């Protein structure tokens, strides 16, 4: 059932987009002294050795993060994400790419709180061990969809919820939208960031239509395409963000065109930025 292992994909172009958007949101939240809460419903193993066998099976990171390292004239909005990644890649543990939990733990402060859910029997112990000595972090070997309902609203009343399933189950495309609606009912002021892959454009179109029908005010969508769709696999990926910080759209506008050029695999590469539901909708 749980055949997906994120280690095969760590540091690919989809991770770059997702982790950069998470970095922008958490950097914004951390500007205020007030504590905040971070919830990762599908956390993975936390971080990934790019020298490992799994990462090198398809070496997706070479078409992702490796294309950004050492770049010149990097847009300012990408510099903090790239600095945190570089610290991890050059850290004591060797060539390690930070997953969303590790990235969040580096960006958040001593008085913030992190909750991480992961079901995989091999990835969960790695995740739990990684944060065993970090008092801010709770890990759960539980279904992130169910557990997130129980964890919201957080006592901090401000925070980011990242929903990042593997979409092995096709029902996840529609299920994620319903789930965000449920979470939003419990914590209407939370920021929600949903990652999605584009393998079949019609599935994504249905998902976006469902977000529009859900009508959660202030819902944005960012998408990055790296190649044409003929290869049969993921050729683009995106993030839907509900209740983004007011700075997020301008940050993405400043960085995504550069990312799209840098990560392009062929001439069909590109990006899009769209308001799915405006701030003023009912
Ligand atoms: N968020 C991670 C990151 O960016 O570094 C990557 C997560 S990966 C795309 C999805 C993860 O969800 C996998 O590790 C998988 O084992 C886990 N998973 C699948 N179904 C789950 C569920 N119902 N609850 C929690 N974790 C689940």
pLDDT in tens, the chain (282 residues): 688 999 999 999 999 999 999 999 999 999 999 999 999 999 999 999 999 999 999 999 999 999 999 999 999 999 999 999 999 999 878 899 999 999 999 999 999 999 999 999 999 999 999 999 999 999 999 999 999 999 999 999 999 999 999 999 889 999 999 999 999 999 999 999 999 999 999 999 999 999 999 999 999 999 999 999 888 899 999 999 999 999 999 999 999 999 999 999 999 999 999 999 999 854
| Atom number, ligand 1, closest to the C-alpha of residue 101 | 5
Please give the pLDDT value at position 172. 93
Q: In angstroms, what is the span from residue 207 Cα to ligand 1's centroid?
A: 19
Tell if the pTM clears 0.75, that is, is over it.
yes
pLDDT at 92: 78
Cβ of 6 closer than 6 Å to ligand 1, yes or no, is yes
Please tell me if the CB atom of residue 147 comes closer than 6 angstroms to any atom of ligand 1: no
Pocket test for ligand 1, best of 44, 45, 46, 150 (most atoms within 8 A of CB): 44
* 3-state SS assignment for residue 9: coil
Between the CA of 76 and the centroid of ligand 1 the distance, in Å, is 30
Structure confidence by residue, pLDDT tens digits, 62-100: 999 999 999 999 999 999 999 999 999 998 788 999 999
H or E element at residue 194: strand 191-198
For residue 1, the model assigns a pLDDT of 65
- Is the N-terminal amide bond of 153 cis, ω within 30° of 0? yes
Report the half-sphere exposure of 258 (CA within 13 A, side-chain side): 17
The whole-number pLDDT of residue 91 equals 84
Active site residues: 164
271 phi/psi in degrees, rounded to 5 = -150, 165
List for the chain the helix, strand, coil content (%; round to 5). Answer: 40, 20, 40
**Which stretches within the chain are classed as H helix?**
13-29, 53-58, 76-89, 100-107, 123-130, 144-151, 172-186, 201-214, 248-263
* Burial profile 220-235: b = 16 or more Cβ within 10 angstroms, e = fewer: bbbbbbbbeeeeeebb
Residue 251 confidence (pLDDT): 98
- Packing angle between helix 13-29 and helix 76-89, nearest 10 degrees? 110
What's the CA-to-centroid distance between 273 and ligand 1, angstroms? Answer: 25
Rg (CA), the chain: 17
Encoding tokens for residue 274? Answer: 């769209």
Backbone angles phi, psi at 160, to 5 degrees: -120, 130
For ligand 1, mutation pick of 18, 25, 43, 146 (most atoms within 8 Å of CB)? 43
């Amino acid at each position: 059932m749980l055949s997906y292992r994120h280690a095969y994909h760590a540091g690919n172009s989809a991770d770059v987009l997702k982790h950069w958007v998470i970095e922008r949101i958490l950097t914004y939240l951390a500007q205020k002294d007030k504590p905040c809460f971070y919830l990762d419903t599908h956390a993975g193993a936390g971080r990934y050795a790019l020298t490992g066998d799994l990462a090198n099976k398809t070496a997706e990171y070479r078409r992702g993060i490796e294309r950004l390292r050492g770049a010149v004239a990097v847009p300012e909005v990408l510099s903090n994400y790239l600095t945190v990644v570089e610290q991890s890649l050059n850290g004591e543990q060797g060539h390690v790419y930070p997953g969303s939990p590790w990235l969040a733990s580096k960006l958040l402060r001593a008085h913030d709180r992190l909750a991480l859910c992961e079901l995989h029997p091999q990835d969960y112990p790695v995740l739990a061990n990684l944060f065993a000595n970090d008092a801010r972090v709770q890990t759960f070997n539980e279904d992130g969809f169910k557990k997130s309902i129980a964890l919201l609203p957080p006592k901090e009343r401000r925070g980011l919820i990242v929903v990042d399933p593997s979409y092995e189950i096709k029902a996840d495309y529609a299920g994620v939208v319903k789930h965000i609606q449920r979470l939003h009912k419990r914590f209407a002021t939370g920021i929600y960031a949903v990652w999605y892959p584009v393998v079949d454009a019609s599935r994504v179109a249905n998902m976006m239509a469902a977000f529009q029908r859900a009508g959660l005010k202030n819902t944005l969508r960012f998408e990055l395409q790296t190649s044409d769709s003929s290869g049969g696999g993921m050729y683009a990926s995106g993030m839907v963000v509900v209740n983004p910080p007011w700075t997020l759209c301008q940050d993405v506008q400043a960085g995504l065109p550069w990312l799209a050029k840098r990560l392009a695999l062929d001439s069909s590469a590109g990006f899009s930025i769209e308001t799915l539901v405006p701030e003023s909708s009912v």
